[in-house]
A and B are shown apart, each in its own frame.
Chain A
């Protein structure tokens, strides 16, 4: 399934609220959502000094590589990944085949708790992203790019 191409304020707020809640419920360090192309969508937690852009890209690359392995093994996808470090662990979950939910956690939490909370959150996020994608595809939606002229684009490159 395609990643969303447009994000609206209403859904963005909802997604952000879900991230904030998961961060607190799972006792995580950081929670973030990235699309399968590596674009970060929302994040919560200890974000200072965190290179979210790089983490998001590497997460998407990781999911793409694992997806390639899955198709060689005739699996549709490997929807969950867990990486265990000495101090920090990463739980990665594909949501509704569209986006990736990442929870970074340390000894303040546990894999069991993170799994449990992620499972519950997945259902909620799937609903929001399904709604978001059909809203973006509905004919009445006005693209923000409508207001951008060819001249604006030229001007961006004129310095």
Chain B
């Protein structure tokens, strides 16, 4: 849930990167962290296992500039993708303003993507959100690899709502900022609508 501080003139929003294990959620945040002006970002926190798998979450605070005298701050989180960390995923979705679903485009990960979307839907419902209404962007990641599902097939399987979608190679930064800008814009538009 967004937090608007009239006293300090700040608008704070929470965006969660969701998706199956090893789809590139952390890589998205790492690329953003590595390619943002130092004044615009805070420290990136990764609560990971010894083998660098996300254990609880990654976190990156980011400023996106001012809008009518209000500083805009986005808190970016990732969830742990591995199936057995579902309790942690639920916690991280609390208070979410927008979700980016990172798809692993490899053919042999199709089922994992579908399961993860279903899991996202269920976990959002438990927190009182609806995947059909929340600001939502889909990113088709790993487009540089071989044995990929086509964008048409992925769209058909994963993007029933026809939300904005982006092709990406997060390791090289392709599509990373486009995805971030798109979700931030959707979050703002929704915020404005809901405060009316």
Using a CB–CB cutoff of 8 Å, the interface residues on chain A facing chain B are 2-9, 12-13, 35-39, 41, 51, 53-54, 57-58, 61, 64-65, 67-68, 143-148, 150, 152-157, 159
Apart from A5-B2, A67-B91, 9 more pairs, CB < 8 Å: A12-B7, A36-B95, A39-B75, A68-B91, A145-B195, A148-B67, A150-B189, A154-B185, A155-B67
Residues of A within 8 A of B64 (CB): 156-157
Q: Is the CB–CB distance between A3 and B95 below 8 Å?
A: yes
Please, which residues of chain A bring their CB within 8 A of the CB of B196? 143, 145-146
CB distance from B122 to the nearest CB of A (A): 16
Interface string of B4-18 (1 = CB under 8 A from A): 111110011010000
Looking at the complex, which one of B4, B59, B94 makes contact with A145 (CB distance below 8 Å)?
Answer: B4
Docked-complex contact B1 and A2, CB < 8 angstroms: yes
Q: Which chain B residues lie closer than 8 Å to A148 at the CB level?
A: 67-68, 70, 188, 192
5 pairs from A and B in contact (CB 8 Å cutoff): A54-B42, A144-B6, A145-B191, A148-B188, A153-B185
CB closest chain-A residue, reference B3: A39
Q: Are the C-beta atoms of A153 and B5 separated by less than 8 Å?
A: no
- What's the nearest-Cβ distance from chain A to residue B53, in Å? 17
A9 near B42 with CB under 8 A, answer no
Whether A58 contacts B45 in the complex (CB less than 8 A), given A37-B14, A147-B68, comes out as: yes
State the Cβ distance, B54 to closest chain A Cβ, in Å: 12
Complex Cα spacing A109 to B6, Å = 34
Known: A53-B61, A156-B64, A156-B72. A144 touches B7 (CB 8 A): no
Residue among B5, B8, B59, B68 with the highest chain A CB neighbour number at 10 A = B5
The verdict on A12 contacting B5 (CB below 8 Å), with A148-B68, A157-B184 known, is: yes
How far, in Å, is B173 (CB) from chain A's closest CB?
Answer: 17
Interface pairs A-B: 10 shortest CB-CB: A37-B95, A12-B7, A143-B195, A64-B91, A7-B5, A39-B3, A9-B7, A145-B195, A53-B42, A153-B188
Nearest-neighbour CB distance to chain A for B181, whole angstroms, equals: 5
A37 to B57, CA, bound (A): 13
Q: Is the interface of B mostly helix, strand, loop or mixed?
A: mixed
Whole-angstrom distance between the Cβ of B193 and the nearest chain A Cβ: 9
Chain A: which residue is nearest B57 at the CB level? A61
Closest residue to B188 on the A side, CB-wise? A153
Identify which of B1, B61, B67, B90 contacts A156 (C-beta below 8 A). Answer: B67
Do residues B68 and A64 form an inter-chain contact, with CB atoms below 8 A?
Answer: no
Bound together, the chains give a CA A92 to CA B13 distance in angstroms of 24
**Which of A5, A8, A53, A64 touches B1 (beta carbons < 8 Å)?**
A5
B185 to chain A, nearest CB (A): 6
* Nearest chain A CB to B10 CB, angstrom units: 9
CB pair B189 A152 closer than 8 Å: no
Which residue of chain B has its CB nearest to the CB of A159?
B65
- How many Å from the CB of B151 to the closest CB on chain A? 24
**Cβ-neighbour of B4 out of A2, A36, A53, A144 (below 8 A):** A144
Given A36-B95, A37-B14, A157-B184, also A61-B4 (CB < 8 A): no
